[in-house]
Amino acid sequence: MALDVTRAKRSRFSSSSQAPLTLDAETMRRMGYRAIDAVVDHLTQIRQHHVLNVKSGRDLQRVLGQPLPREPEAFDTLIGDLEQHVFQNITHHDHPRFFAFVPGPGNYAGALAELLTNGFNVFCGTWIGGAGASEIELITLEWLRRLVGFPAGARGVFLSGGSEAGLVAMATARNVKLGNDPTNAVVYCSDQTHKSLDRNLWLLGFQPQQVVRLPCDETWRLRPELLAARIAGDRAKGLRPFCVVVNAGTTNTGSVDPLNEVAEICRREDLWLHADGAYGAGAIFCEPGRKVLSGIEKVDSLGLDPHKWMFQPYSAGCVMVRNGYDLRRTFSYSAEYLKLIEESDEPNFCDYGIQLTRDFRALKLWFSLKIFGADAFEAAQCRGIELAETVAKTVVQQRWWELVSPPQLAVVTFRFRPPGLDQETLDALNREIVDTFNKTGYGMVIYTKLNEETVIRMCTINPRTLDAEIQQCLEKLDHIAKTLYREWVVTEPPASI
């Protein structure tokens, strides 16, 4: 039976002259203004909210779970529900007192760029599909290329984040160095390298034993002498060393591997060198960062996340390859339905990565740099480094606290080590300190493992964090630590505690 479209129910937001899923201009503006007000209120009032807000799935289902709506609902009710039940039940990664993982401070200009690209429904997979958008992406990639120091022939692509950047880079390395045959091939990295590498290599057909994680030195950096020795040993066994992955800012400590020394080994051994700079490579905007990242210009591929230390809203990742031809020949393909786009001499970004259908991720970084200028990015990054140094200086002045790893690219780790506790108890105590602090809602930190010991870690890249907030967080951690110590160990605590 043919559908009688004349009997279809119309939305209360549509007039008889409007198509389905269409709103009139006045309604769209009213909704847009209300949504913008919600964002601005969030950004200007964020310090009034707890950092960590996580209800159970059962509680959220109780307030949000509803059948599929057949009729439209009131916009004001919807936005109110979102503000109350969704946006207040998240961990605010953009909160000035969020120091866990790698914060995503975001910025308002980037948020507006997201509104624009989604409002215009921009397709950025091909030149014919989005010429202007593709040109903006090319321009933004060129800015990054110059900051990194890659040659003019380098190419890149914006994508979802560090995991996808690593996958694209490893696929390119496999294609160039192995001809897509991973048999007996070996990849080398340090024991501090992000675990997404293992997943990416598994997706590309590698076995776990083909990934060699080498122990770091006392500063949690890859040891070039161990790397060179292992490569030689594996060659003697008939294996095929083909790639080294270095860290340009580890998650645990912010440490950067000795890029120049490892690059020389890779040049000598004809190995692909990939740098995971998802976090740390963003520091190329500031002088302290560029100094630490010396040698980054020598790698064959680089992953970096603008949604981390370039202050962009989620998600915004990027991969850059020193020889752009390597990237294109790895991912370019042909199909009858793509003949139209192949007739163009202009670049199609679908030829440089996994996605054919692509959104316009480059706009938010381009727009933010245009609104604020690169000098503001540099100042924001320097601020993050200063905050980490403040953490370190304060920690060493507090009784029974020790600095485990000094500030490196705005990451610092430390540990509460009072007397009279064995290793296992100290680890449990430091975990409890973190859990108790996070439950207060005032701030958020994490714990991790270094040298088989549990340590507390802070990442201070949000430029809006105040010195006073750093001090208050550390004072609260100290108070919690010593209170727990009294409860765990001391029956009658001495006055000096």
Query: What pLDDT, on a 0 to 100 scale, did the predictor assign at position 8?
Result: 45
Q: What is the mean pLDDT of residues 428-449?
A: 98
**Average per-residue pLDDT in the chain?**
95
Say which residue, 139 or 335, is predicted with more confidence: 139
pLDDT one-digit tens code per residue, 156-173? 999 999 999 999 999 999
**pTM of the predicted protein model:** 0.94
Structure-block tokens of residue 33: 């203004």
Name the amino acid, one letter, at 67. P
Query: What pLDDT, on a 0 to 100 scale, did the predictor assign at position 180?
Result: 83
**211-218 contact pairs (CB < 8 A, 24+):** 211/186, 211/187, 212/186, 212/187, 212/188, 213/189, 214/188, 214/189, 214/190, 215/190, 215/191, 216/190, 216/191, 216/192, 216/255
Say which residue, 148 or 340, is predicted with more confidence: 148
Name the amino acid, one letter, at 305. D
DSSP annotation of 281 reads: G
User: Please, which pLDDT band fits residue 36 given cuts at 50, 70 and 90?
Assistant: very high
CB 441 within 8 A of CB 46: no
The full set of domains in the chain, from first to last, is 23-90 (1.20.1340.10), 112-372 (3.40.640.10), 376-488 (3.90.1150.170)
Query: What pLDDT, on a 0 to 100 scale, did the predictor assign at position 335?
Result: 84
Asked if the peptide bond before residue 315 counts as cis, ω within 30 degrees of 0, the response is yes
What do you get for the CA distance between the two ends of the chain, in Å? Answer: 83
Q: Look-up: residue for tokens 């995991």? A: 163
Is the model's pLDDT at 15 over the cut of 80? no
pLDDT one-digit tens code per residue, 55-90? 999 999 999 999 999 999 999 999 999 999 999 999
User: Please, which pLDDT band fits residue 2 given cuts at 50, 70 and 90?
Assistant: very low
User: Please, which pLDDT band fits residue 186 given cuts at 50, 70 and 90?
Assistant: very high
